[in-house]
Amino acid sequence: MKKTNADRFISAYNQIDYSLRTIYDFKRSMSFSDVVRRSVVLNSVVRKYEEDLIDYGRLRNAIIHNGNRKYVIAEPHDDVVVKIEKLAELISEPPLAIDRVGNREVITINQDMSIGKAMELMARTGYSNLPTYDGDKLIGILNGRKLINILGSKLAEGMNLQEFVENTTVGTIIQDMGDDYYFMLADEDLTIDEAMNYFENNRKLLIILITKNGKDSSRPLGIISSADIIDMKKILDVY
């Protein structure tokens, strides 16, 4: 028997409700509207469609509170059903970042490489983020934007930049970049929604490095930069 729009709507609604409560460990006693509002700061999809989800909660109540199934007082429109089913899929089974945006080649360097050689590598490959290792351990990520800022300050101090980039190691310059959370590690299960949320909640974040287990002792599988935010938004829009 073909499902009615009301049946499809309720099924998608229940999927969203269950997923949000399970993912974020919300109490069963919380209303759906409270679940949505509290998820806004945790989930970029919910944040974008907050008002729609609140409206869907009201529509769900109108359907469920009607005890006579032969007389549906609120039969959702086709467009509404399609949209809530899409949101249910996005929230419960979001696409993995490694599959869609983070699967590019990751070029790594050793901390003993000179800044000059690293800059040549960036220019030759077009990669402006170079994960830097001391043996098998990640010590930081050489970021082109932050590197330019440091070189500018050295130039303002009257330093000879040619000598500086030839005689200074990447390991040394990474220490000068400071610990302002401009990069983070994530495991291979990172979703696009989670990546979006990290960037939106930390304006200083420039890079997410993906490893198998999210540890600095694991080799990188992929990398995402703040420049990928537009592409990630597009992916979620058409997913």
User: Which CATH number do you get for residue 112?
Assistant: 3.10.580.10
How far apart CA 94 and CA 44 sit, in angstroms, is 11
Higher pLDDT, 62 or 161: 161
Same domain, 36 and 74: yes
Same domain, 125 and 186: yes
Same domain, 34 and 134: no
Same domain, 194 and 159: yes
Q: Which domain holds residue 33?
A: 5-90
Same domain, 128 and 186: yes
pLDDT at 57 over 90: yes
Same domain, 163 and 210: yes
pLDDT at 72 over 90: no
End-of-domain residue from the set 90, 124, 159: 90
Give the tens place of pLDDT for each residue, 151-182: 999 999 999 999 999 999 999 999 878 766 89
Torsion of CA 66, 68, 70, 74, to 10 degrees: -10
Tokens of 82: 């399609």
Looking at the structure of the chain, the number of domains it has is 2
Same domain, 84 and 184: no
pLDDT on residue 216? 93
End-of-domain residue from the set 58, 90, 122: 90
* Nearest to 54, CA basis, from 73, 71, 37, 78: 37
Whether the predicted model's global pTM rises above the 0.85 cut: no
Same domain, 108 and 222: yes
